[in-house]
Amino acid sequence: MKSNPDNPYPSSYAKAAPAVSAARIADPNKMQRLQNWWEFGDQESPCILATIEPDRPSLPQDRDLSGYWTDIDGVMAREMARIEQTHWLGEAVPFHYIDLGASAMPCALGARVEFIDSETIWAHPVFVDIEEALRCRLDPHQPFYQTIIELTRRSTQKAPGHHFVAPFALGGVLDNLIGLCGAETTLTSLLDHKKRIKPVLKHLQRLWIDAFAEIQSLLSASHPGEGIGWAGIWAPGTTFPLQEDCSYMLSPDCFDEFCLPVLGDLVDFLDYPLYHLDGNRALAHLPSLLRLNRLKAIQWQPGAGRESIAQWTELIRTILAHRKSVQIFARPEEIDDLVQAVGSRGILISCTNITEQEAIKLAERFPQSFCA
């Protein structure tokens, strides 16, 4: 997917003074606090990832959506402008997530791609039988995967002293099979074709690991021995937010049989694994996840209409009681009550796109995070 020097999208950003500071990227106090969070160490205040962000550019109505997502020059200019115009506060570090949608992995493996808007790409199934997915390979000539690799390479070249690079969405292994075969075919196979689906999941797990390793080989050129995922949390080693968003449709027994073994292998593969627990209906699987000894942390995303953090203090206590750290999303005014309820140890709070006034109040309340 070739570059277009006339791509209009970057100019949609309002001009602003750069907010990125190279010194902030390498701030040892910030890195030490984050490493301590990963290791569930004592901390006198929560880690806070806070940002003040520029307005997102609107998509020109007369432009092809595929260009918005796949024009390498346009994406790079747009993302570098966003990074430079964002204020990264607390333990937040400037990073570029190679964003080609949540279904990027099935698209890279051959699913039919549909560009929906400037926020969403859909993967449409191409297989009618689950065993057809055994044919999937990481093809360096596949256009969608080429775009992923080239964006990663280009971003990594610009990264030293400027930003970290987060890999594209490798997804959950069962999620990826759904992207290739469809939900009905995949989920009925969990019941009717158990022996047939397990080798397919193992094959897709190997492809997941191979893709991560290829991306990591590129990223190590800019920040060897460090990592970050789309969750935005720096780590002193390899890291990725693991997930199975389809798990809300699975019983605990089904999750334990088909998802947990794969997740256990991926947890063992990564230095600093995090699990993205998405939505109230996925909570049935929390006891199983807490049994994964090497799982370092859980990101809790309650979903629309359930964002108020006060209703989740018991859940957070449960995770912390298993000596696993927690990433949660909260408004600045909720933080004091949360810390009073659950303490600071193991807590990392993401406050995205706050105001300057909110940032000043956070800095006064939590100087340990905002000292640089």
11 versus 184: which is more confidently predicted?
A: 184
Distance of CA 254 to the CA centre of its chain: 25
CA–CA–CA angle 242, 39, 93 (5° rounding): 70
Checking if the pLDDT of 198 tops 70, the result is yes
**Residue percentage of the chain with pLDDT more than 90:** 85
Instruction: Quote the pLDDT of residue 58.
Output: 61
What angle do helix axes 173-181 and 183-192 make, rounded to 10 degrees? Answer: 120
Q: How many CA atoms lie within 13 A of 353 on its CB side?
A: 5
Checking if the pLDDT of 236 tops 50, the result is yes
Burial label for 334, CB within 10 Å (0-12, 13-18, 19+), is middle
Cα–Cα distance between 206 and 269 in angstroms, integer?
Answer: 11
**Alpha-carbon distance values, 271 to 207, 234, 240, 261, 266 (Å):** 19, 12, 9, 18, 10
Q: Specify the range with the lowest mean pLDDT, choosing from 51-55, 188-192, 350-354.
A: 51-55
Instruction: Quote the pLDDT of residue 367.
Output: 87
What is the average pLDDT across 3-8?
A: 42
Instruction: Quote the pLDDT of residue 326.
Output: 98
- Residues 34-91: tens digit of each pLDDT: 999 999 999 999 999 999 998 876 655 556 899 999 999 999 999 999 999 999 999 9
Q: Specify the range with the lowest mean pLDDT, choosing from 24-38, 83-97, 272-286, 330-344.
A: 24-38
Instruction: Quote the pLDDT of residue 7.
Output: 42
Q: What's the whole-number average pLDDT of the chain?
A: 91
Instruction: Quote the pLDDT of residue 61.
Output: 56
DSSP E strand boundaries for the chain? 47-52, 87-90, 95-97, 112-115, 121-124, 164-166, 239-242, 272-278, 297-301, 325-329, 347-351
Instruction: Quote the pLDDT of residue 54.
Output: 85
Checking if the pLDDT of 22 tops 80, the result is no
Checking if the pLDDT of 169 tops 60, the result is yes
Phi, psi of 317 (to 5 degrees): -60, -40
Which domains does the chain carry?
9-34+54-86+93-286 (3.20.20.210)
Q: Specify the range with the lowest mean pLDDT, choosing from 7-16, 34-43, 59-68, 351-360.
A: 7-16
Task: Give 210's contacts (C-beta < 8 A, 6+ positions apart).
Answer: 138
What is the average pLDDT across 3-15?
A: 40
Q: Which of 230, 107, 114 is nearest to 176 (CA)?
A: 107
Checking if the pLDDT of 17 tops 50, the result is no
Checking if the pLDDT of 4 tops 80, the result is no
Q: Which of 368, 366, 310 is nearest to 342 (CA)?
A: 310
Checking if the pLDDT of 21 tops 50, the result is no
Distance of CA 226 to the CA centre of its chain: 16
Instruction: Quote the pLDDT of residue 368.
Output: 81
Cα–Cα distance between 228 and 259 in angstroms, integer?
Answer: 24
* Amino acid of residue 26: A
Radius of gyration, CA atoms only, the chain: 20
What is the average pLDDT across 6-22?
A: 40
Checking if the pLDDT of 240 tops 50, the result is yes
Q: Specify the range with the lowest mean pLDDT, choosing from 24-38, 68-82, 266-280, 326-340.
A: 24-38
